[in-house]
């Protein structure tokens, strides 16, 4: 049976889709059959981040409505044979996502995949609720700023009370914190919350920290998950996150200001 993971947050623009693409690719590169579902009906960004927008013929809503078979809508990633994408619709309403329809699709996917990642829209709306309802695990993505952290805290309340696991009185959804756009220098200057500040507010296990990096934007613009850029700190951080999620002991990196060595200081490096 597949593990269902929702990538969620309370605020838009924090890097959910970038995270869904990176973790999905990372899991697949480790030999796990993985599918990423875009729940952001009306916007549909996952296929852009994954570089497969021209290959979209059928979408998630077409499958729910019986207008296409699941195999017709799934797009196989060209870089990794174990990774698939199920795109969202740009033309339908969010209400087209029904609990029964989503459940049927997830059940069918569970028979063929090891991991199902649900890329949630931001905020507390219908698409976000549908993305988190069937989750076993939740990766809560937030920036180190007060408004983003506060909105994430609201999402935790919904996960605890309105998920399928909560309704059926099962073990709760396992929740992980993923902090994006982290800049240790700004933290040191008091311009940004620290990792400890965020953990104190949300009380979540830290899955990882993604440093502020131009590589993330460059990867998105080129349709390539940033995890494939292992020359970048962001790509390395996402690879660490995948390893931690799979149970490996990996130390956290990129949390401190880089201190220049003596030679660098002497020669201005």
Q: Tens of pLDDT along 221-242?
A: 999 999 999 999 999 999 999 9
Look at residue 262 and tell me whether its pLDDT is greater than 70: no
Look at residue 207 and tell me whether its pLDDT is greater than 90: yes
Averaged pLDDT, 1-6 = 95
- Mean pLDDT of all residues belonging to the chain: 93
> How would you classify the pairing of strands 34-38 and 75-76?
unpaired
pLDDT digits (tens, 9 = 90+) for 14-44: 999 999 999 999 999 999 999 999 999 988 8
Maximum pairwise Cα distance, the chain: 68
Averaged pLDDT, 146-175 = 93
Query: What per-residue confidence (pLDDT) applies to 264?
Result: 56
What is the spatial distance between Cα 18 and Cα 220, in angstroms, rounded to a whole number? 7
Side-chain half-sphere exposure of 247, counting CA atoms within 13 A = 0
Q: Kindly report the pTM of this predicted structure.
A: 0.93
Helix, strand or coil, per DSSP, at residue 216: helix
Instruction: Identify the CA nearest to 245 among candidates 8, 23, 2, 21.
Output: 23
| H/E run at residue 138 | strand 137-142
Confidence band (pLDDT; 50, 70, 90) for 260? low
β-bridge partners, 137: 5, 174
Look at residue 92 and tell me whether its pLDDT is greater than 90: no
Averaged pLDDT, 153-173 = 93
- 154: which 2 tokens? 């609201």
Look at residue 261 and tell me whether its pLDDT is greater than 70: no
Please tell me which residue, 91 or 259, carries the higher pLDDT value: 91
Query: What per-residue confidence (pLDDT) applies to 95?
Result: 82
What is the spatial distance between Cα 9 and Cα 152, in angstroms, rounded to a whole number? 5
């Amino acid at each position: 049976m597949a593990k269902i993971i929702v990538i969620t947050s309370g605020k838009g623009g924090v890097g959910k889709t970038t995270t869904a693409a990176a973790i999905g690719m990372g899991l697949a590169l480790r030999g796990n059959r993985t599918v990423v579902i875009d729940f952001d009906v009306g916007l549909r960004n996952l296929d852009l981040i994954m570089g497969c927008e021209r290959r979209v013929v059928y979408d998630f809503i077409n499958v729910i409505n019986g207008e296409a078979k699941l195999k017709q809508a799934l797009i196989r990633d060209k870089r990794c044979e174990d990774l698939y994408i199920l795109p969202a619709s740009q033309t339908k309403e969010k209400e087209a996502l029904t609990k029964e329809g989503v459940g049927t699709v997830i059940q069918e996917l569970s028979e063929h995949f090891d991991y199902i990642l649900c890329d949630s829209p931001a905020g507390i709306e219908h698409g976000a609720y549908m993305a988190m309802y069937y989750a076993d695990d939740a990766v809560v993505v937030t920036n180190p700023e007060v408004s983003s952290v506060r909105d994430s805290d609201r999402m935790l309340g919904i996960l605890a009370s309105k998920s399928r696991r909560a309704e059926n009185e099962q073990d709760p959804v396992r929740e992980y914190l993923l902090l994006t756009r982290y800049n240790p220098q700004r933290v040191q200057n008091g311009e940004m919350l620290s990792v400890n500040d965020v953990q104190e507010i949300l009380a979540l296990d830290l899955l990882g920290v993604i440093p502020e990096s131009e590589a993330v934007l460059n990867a998105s613009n080129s349709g390539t998950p940033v995890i494939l850029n292992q020359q970048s700190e962001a790509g390395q951080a996402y690879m660490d996150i995948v390893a931690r999620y799979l149970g490996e002991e990996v130390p956290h990196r990129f949390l401190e200001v880089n201190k220049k060595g003596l030679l660098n200081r002497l020669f201005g490096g």
